[in-house]
Chain A
């Protein structure tokens, strides 16, 4: 340590910490206490719960079962079916969000009349609460009186009303569509911020080198947007994997098992079956998977940036 740094250091007291250090410690103590109470403790406690066979309807018998709940979840074929559906939903949703958000961001990055109005309108889906969004799509998709059937019928695209959410083959893509509609605005803003940070010199240099608009997109814009894309992909993947509201309001996991995803399984296990031990174990599996995926995506993209 240099002499200047040593002399700038506050005088130490007999307790080994300076007055400033102790003051800082005292000042952050309340916040640290709150964080411990509302974040750290529940996380640790839920892990503790996941080690018990805790079922609220059987309050007299709560044995400690080590990792049996985790083993039971991994051995349950219904869980793996739900994992497959979660992956399918997440892939559809994240790809669609990324592509649409990029197109809209590129559009809003240009100067044209009405750009500000369009930007403001774009934020409306983002501002709508998830539950309201789900109820709105429930009305749109309804097979008997839904707006989608009404529109297609009036435009002569269909001869009779179609079954939408009730058709197991269409259920997941339709829910993903409602999810995409809500999530595209935020992704667009994130990408737009990225676009604004690309130096115009890069485009000028590319033009001088004879690059056309498509070449500039693939060789200048997209590489420069990689950090923003990483953020969008990580965030939207986390949102899609853990998403619950649309599944709850639109289909309740049905029809049959068509929309029985992992987040829905966690809800059913915890709040319907009141099996808190298994529910907590599933939640941990879901959280750790999300964390691992985010880490992999960030690492992969960071290497390329």
Chain B
């Protein structure tokens, strides 16, 4: 006969302790057998597209990927905190603006030794390859790229009697004044010059098209030199606000997104806007001027060209991933899956382009019939490609870029507000650059 014996405290503790030991042992043995996943960090863009592409990678290779993302506004700080805290990160999205900082700190590993990755360079735009290269070493594979575009409202130009967009900044001012005089727009030009991360892209685009530079080949400041184009660029902006009144004084508080909204509401004739916004601007659901927004080559300054600024985001790899041969090989596979070809096709770049209109740095995709057909619904694909081939990387991307960028942005705004002259503003910017360069 068996009889019921109630669980006393001692036996309960014994049973619990043995259960805990057994569970820990099983957990450890499982961990020992399961490979550690590839830790992949991005900012919060196209999250579902990224996840689906990861799922396809996992299904094909049997490897596991631990995916995390953070908002772009806090991404740099988040990643640096992770690096300093030695959190596990193998692969991540990197902005070209952070490359020197992250490479010098030892948070990024060069990928030159992986020939299957560098083999893609031949099919990538030159400025993209240059944007991923630092001190002669390549640090990634292309995620997406874009450039600052000069867009115009063709309907407004037609109403003003212009049959073609301006090809120089002098013509922009002339046409804008005519449009203003006819009462078609209070401020025909829209350039968003608020103190935000976009500001350097806007002013670099104008600077390059004026034939200007911030720094010379040795990395020394030349922005203060009246012959190098920066002064004439800033003077054009000051005149546009104060003399010609074709650019609103509120440009210094207008961010990229707010500028997009006002341009899409039909308030302006010309705008500097990132090229990928062209799709939104010609979408009737999102824009009141859909169908009328066209891209023109960046207007030229007196001594300039149709050059513009381009930026680059790429897949980088950490020294942690590179330290272990197996982990490095797995990470390289994932980088190629995203930044190169997946199953023989630039699948992720195409997905991104279809999903959010993100530009690509891969030259052959401009010849892809599917991509051309999509581009053709809202833009001139050949002109888009031509402008991209004239894009240049920023000449101020250094370890001290962020610190200088704040001072430079404030200096340009001071001049545009009329609080200081363009020459004084650029001298202040150059002085800060020189001081920071000295500190290293």
**A interface list, Cβ under 8 A from B:** 56-60, 142-145, 160, 163-168, 251-257, 260, 268, 271-274
A257/B196 contact (C-beta < 8 A), A59-B84, A143-B250, A168-B419 known? no
B residues contacting the other copy or chain, number (CB 8 A) = 33
B77 close to A (CB within 8 Å): yes
- CA–CA, A257 to B258, complex, Å? 21
Are A166 and B251 in contact (CB-based, < 8 A)?
yes
Residues in A whose Cβ lies below 8 Å from that of B419? 168, 256
Are B105 and A271 in contact (CB-based, < 8 A)?
no
Residues in A whose Cβ lies below 8 Å from that of B406? 253, 268, 272
Which of B77, B81, B196, B253 contacts A143 (CB under 8 A)?
B253
Which of A59, A160, A164 contacts B105 (CB under 8 A)?
A59
Are B196 and A163 in contact (CB-based, < 8 A)?
no
Interface of A is mostly: loop
A163/B250 contact (C-beta < 8 A), A168-B419, A273-B403 known? yes
Are A166 and B253 in contact (CB-based, < 8 A)?
yes
Residues in A whose Cβ lies below 8 Å from that of B288? none
B397-440: CB near A (< 8 Å → 1, else 0) gives 00100110010011101100101000000000000000000000
Known contacts A58-B105, A274-B80, then 13 further A-B pairs from the complex at CB < 8 Å, ordered by chain A residue: A56-B81, A60-B105, A142-B258, A145-B262, A164-B253, A165-B253, A166-B250, A254-B194, A255-B252, A255-B417, A256-B252, A256-B419, A257-B410
Are B80 and A252 in contact (CB-based, < 8 A)?
no
Are B77 and A271 in contact (CB-based, < 8 A)?
yes
Residues in A whose Cβ lies below 8 Å from that of B233? none
Are B252 and A166 in contact (CB-based, < 8 A)?
yes
Which of A60, A144, A167, A260 counts the most chain B CB atoms within 10 A?
A: A144
Sorted nearest first, the 7 A-B pairs with minimum C-beta distance are A143-B250, A166-B253, A255-B252, A256-B414, A254-B195, A256-B413, A166-B250
**B interface list, Cβ under 8 A from A:** 77, 80-81, 83-84, 101, 105-106, 186, 194-196, 248-254, 258, 262, 267, 399, 402-403, 406, 409-411, 413-414, 417, 419
Which of B84, B262, B399, B413 contacts A254 (CB under 8 A)?
B413
Tell me the minimal C-beta distance from A149 to chain B in angstroms.
Answer: 10
Residues in A whose Cβ lies below 8 Å from that of B253? 143, 163-166, 251, 254-255
Residues in B whose Cβ lies below 8 Å from that of A251? 195, 253
Pick 19 A–B contacts, CB within 8 A, sort by A. Answer: A56-B81, A57-B80, A59-B84, A59-B105, A142-B258, A143-B254, A145-B262, A164-B253, A166-B250, A166-B251, A168-B417, A252-B194, A254-B253, A254-B410, A256-B252, A256-B419, A272-B406, A274-B77, A274-B80
Tell me the minimal C-beta distance from A244 to chain B in angstroms.
Answer: 16
Tell me the minimal C-beta distance from B280 to chain A in angstroms.
Answer: 18
Residues in B whose Cβ lies below 8 Å from that of A268? 406
Write the chain A residue with the least CB distance to B407: A78
Residues in B whose Cβ lies below 8 Å from that of A167? 249, 417
Write the chain A residue with the least CB distance to B251: A166
Tell me the minimal C-beta distance from B79 to chain A in angstroms.
Answer: 11
Tell me the minimal C-beta distance from B32 to chain A in angstroms.
Answer: 32
Residues in B whose Cβ lies below 8 Å from that of A165? 253
- CA–CA, A145 to B254, complex, Å? 11
Which of A143, A167, A255 counts the most chain B CB atoms within 10 A?
A: A255
Which of A163, A254, A255, A273 contacts B248 (CB under 8 A)?
A163
- CA–CA, A210 to B399, complex, Å? 75
- CA–CA, A272 to B195, complex, Å? 13
Residues in B whose Cβ lies below 8 Å from that of A255? 194-195, 252-253, 413, 417
Are A56 and B417 in contact (CB-based, < 8 A)?
no
- CA–CA, A150 to B249, complex, Å? 18
- CA–CA, A106 to B32, complex, Å? 73
- CA–CA, A179 to B197, complex, Å? 26
Are B252 and A254 in contact (CB-based, < 8 A)?
yes
A257/B251 contact (C-beta < 8 A), A56-B80, A56-B81, A57-B101 known? no
Which of B80, B83, B195 counts the most chain A CB atoms within 10 A?
A: B195
- CA–CA, A252 to B199, complex, Å? 13
Are B195 and A253 in contact (CB-based, < 8 A)?
yes
- CA–CA, A274 to B80, complex, Å? 9
Write the chain B residue with the least CB distance to A144: B262
Tell me the minimal C-beta distance from A60 to chain B in angstroms.
Answer: 8
- CA–CA, A287 to B322, complex, Å? 45
Are A56 and B410 in contact (CB-based, < 8 A)?
no
- CA–CA, A251 to B250, complex, Å? 12
A272/B410 contact (C-beta < 8 A), A163-B249, A254-B194, A254-B252 known? no
- CA–CA, A142 to B250, complex, Å? 9
Which of A56, A58, A166 counts the most chain B CB atoms within 10 A?
A: A166
- CA–CA, A166 to B181, complex, Å? 25
Residues in B whose Cβ lies below 8 Å from that of A256? 252, 410-411, 413-414, 417, 419
- CA–CA, A60 to B402, complex, Å? 19
A56/B252 contact (C-beta < 8 A), A256-B410, A256-B413, A271-B77 known? no
Residues in B whose Cβ lies below 8 Å from that of A271? 77
Residues in A whose Cβ lies below 8 Å from that of B186? 160
Write the chain B residue with the least CB distance to A274: B80
Which of B81, B194, B252, B419 counts the most chain A CB atoms within 10 A?
A: B252
Are A144 and B254 in contact (CB-based, < 8 A)?
yes
- CA–CA, A167 to B409, complex, Å? 16
Residues in A whose Cβ lies below 8 Å from that of B196? 252
Residues in A whose Cβ lies below 8 Å from that of B262? 144-145
Which of B84, B186, B250, B414 counts the most chain A CB atoms within 10 A?
A: B250
Residues in A whose Cβ lies below 8 Å from that of B252? 166, 254-256
Write the chain B residue with the least CB distance to A273: B403
Write the chain A residue with the least CB distance to B80: A56
Which of A58, A252, A254 counts the most chain B CB atoms within 10 A?
A: A254
Tell me the minimal C-beta distance from A70 to chain B in angstroms.
Answer: 18
Tell me the minimal C-beta distance from B258 to chain A in angstroms.
Answer: 7
Tell me the minimal C-beta distance from B124 to chain A in angstroms.
Answer: 28
